[in-house]
Amino acid sequence: MLYAIIAAVLIAADQVVKFLVRANIPMWESIPFIPHVMDLTYVQNTGAAFNIFREHTWLLTLISALVAVVIVAVMAKKVVRHRFGLVCLSVVLAGAVGNLIDRLFFGFVTDMFQTTFISFAVFNVADICVVLGGIAFCVYFLFFYDKLEKGETPHGDSASDT
């Protein structure tokens, strides 16, 4: 339940920020957010990172849905049982669902964070969730999965139940 709450809070934050940007910033206009670091710029992205696959929104919608289903299945089957791994998966799930909502309802993803100190793709809260959660999960899987998952019982189960 905790992991569903984490995902829901992050999805809600993503959607609220996107709504506020669409409602208050004209398309391609910018307002300062963190001076000399980041602006809020309203961009409609039909593609993925750096606008790749922009002509294939349907494919990205399908991929987002599949990723969400796989993460939910992995969590439900208790393939990952350690709290850190589950938090990482919850964060990635939130990002996948946040962008999936945009693609389903608008046909594009609302992006808004634009770095001003380097030239980089404009991104959103869901993108941050996918990247940070994905990196954290990779670190967990590569360096800690074997150690932490061995002997770990699923939450709510006790060793005497087996």
Query: How confident is the model over 56-83, as pLDDT tens digits?
Result: 677 888 888 999 999 999 999 999 999 9
Residue 159 — very low, low, confident or very high, per pLDDT cuts 50/70/90? very low
Whole-angstrom distance, CA of residue 16 vs CA of residue 97: 14
Q: Which of residues 82 and 158 earns the better pLDDT score? A: 82
Annotated catalytic sites, by residue?
Answer: 111, 127
Which residues, listed in sequence order, are joined to residue 39 by a DSSP beta bridge? 32, 114
CA dihedral in degrees (60, 62, 65, 71; nearest 10)? -80
d(CA 131, CA 64): 14
The rounded distance, in Å, linking the Cα atoms of 87 and 93 is 10
Closest CA to 7 of 140, 132, 129: 129
Asked if residue 160 has pLDDT above 60, the reply is no
- What is the arithmetic mean of pLDDT over 119-131? 95
- Round the average pLDDT of the chain to a whole number and report it: 89
Distance CA 137, CA 156 (A): 23
pTM metric for this prediction: 0.85
Q: Distance between CA atoms of 7 and 10, rounded to whole angstroms?
A: 5
| C-alpha distances in Å from residue 22, one per residue of 26, 43, 106, 109, 111 | 7, 9, 11, 11, 10
CB atoms within 10 A of CB 14: 24
Edge-to-edge strands, sheet with 109-115: 30-34, 38-45, 109-115
Please say if the pLDDT value at position 52 is more than 90.
no
> Span 87-100, mean pLDDT?
97
Model confidence band, residue 50 (pLDDT cutoffs 50, 70, 90): low
Q: Which residue type occupies 9? A: V
